[in-house]
Structure 1
Amino acid sequence: MKKTLFILFLFSIGLNAQEVDYSQKVATIDSTIATLYSVISGDKGKERNWDLFQYLFKKDAKLIVTGKNEKKETTLKYMSSEEYIESSGRWIVENGFYELELKRETQTFGNITHVLSTYEGFTTKKDKKSLLRGINSIQLFNDGKRWWIVNLLWKQESNTNPIPEAYLPKK
């Protein structure tokens, strides 16, 4: 009996040691957006905190990328946070990736917020020229306890579709 109680005690300590309090990461709109960018950013070979990444998103939230398919048609690809990790997580870690916010426009009504966040991506912190740029359209919801990302739609800049000056920082 003592052995069983001791094993249960060790098991409960192990579970508590693995629990992490991420509440400050989603306490404000700013902290939620900053966490989104920081959690996918890191050096080549550095594992990302995918638990924290998933913590940002409400159940059934969608990550949606727009782009062109093989037929040059404009399309959308819908992903869950898990599907994003499966499709992009390995590349991000194997190649190194830093995504930095350049400018943000925020509109809030009650407990819903829409953020247009212009970003640029680099392979390392030392890169002078960005690998890519684009705009994230982020919808957030506050349930009275925290902010949740409910949708994240993004488009990368291209030669035929540059980012408008209005969405870039003033020079």
Structure 2
Amino acid sequence: MKNLVLIVFVVGLFSYGQNNDYAKKVESLDSTIETLYSVISGDKGEARNWELFKYLFHKDAKLIPTGKTKEGLHGATFMTPDDYIQRAGKWLVENGFHEVEIGRNVQTFGNITQVFSTYESFRNKSDIEPFMRGINSIQLLNDGKRWWIINIYWQQETDDNPIPKQYLKNE
């Protein structure tokens, strides 16, 4: 019985410390966005912290990439954070992926915030030219205690649809 109590105590301390560390990651809008980008980024072979990734999101959150379908129409795919991990997690580790924010446009009303976060994507930290750019439309809620990501809706830049200049800088 003493061993069981000790195990529960140690696990509780470990969890408490992790949640305290994680709580710092969502205490401000900036820390939440910075954590989002850092947690999906890493070199080839580098594991991602999917527990922290999921901690950023509200329980009903969606990740929604958009782009052209095979038929040439514009469409969207709706995923939970777990769906995203299943679909992209292995690819991120096998290929290396660093997403870097290069511009941010923020609008807030009450406890809701909409962020247009312009990004560039690289395979390695040392890459000079991005292989992709786009805009993440991130909707967040501040519940009075922390920031929650409600949705991330994104589109990649294409030759037909370049990123407008106003989204290439911070406002």
Structures share fold, TM-score greater than 0.5: yes
Q: CA deviation at 1:131?
A: 1.0
Q: Which residue number in structure 1 is paired with residue 88 of structure 2?
A: 88
CA displacement 1:55-114 (0-9 Å, x = unmatched): 000011010010111111110000000000000011001111000000000011111100
Q: CA deviation at 1:16?
A: 2.6
Q: CA deviation at 1:18?
A: 4.2
Q: CA deviation at 1:6?
A: 2.1
Instruction: State the 4+ residue runs in structure 1 displaced beyond 4 angstroms.
Output: none
Deviates more, 1:102-111 or 1:161-170: 161-170
2-structure distance, mates of 1:169, 1:105:
8
Which SS does the other structure have where 2:106 is aligned? strand
2-structure distance, mates of 1:31, 1:87:
25
Structure 1 residue runs without a partner (length 5+): none
Letter in 1 for 2:55: Y
Q: CA deviation at 1:15?
A: 4.1
2-structure distance, mates of 1:17, 1:104:
35
Q: TM-score, length-normalised on structure 2?
A: 0.94
How many residue pairs were aligned? 167
Q: CA deviation at 1:129?
A: 0.7
Q: Rg bigger for which structure?
A: 1
Which SS does the other structure have where 2:78 is aligned? strand
Q: What's the RMSD between the two structures over aligned residues?
A: 1.3
Q: TM-score, length-normalised on structure 1?
A: 0.94
Pair 1:129 & 2:126 matched: no
1:58-77 paired onto structure 2 within 5 Å? 58-77=58-77
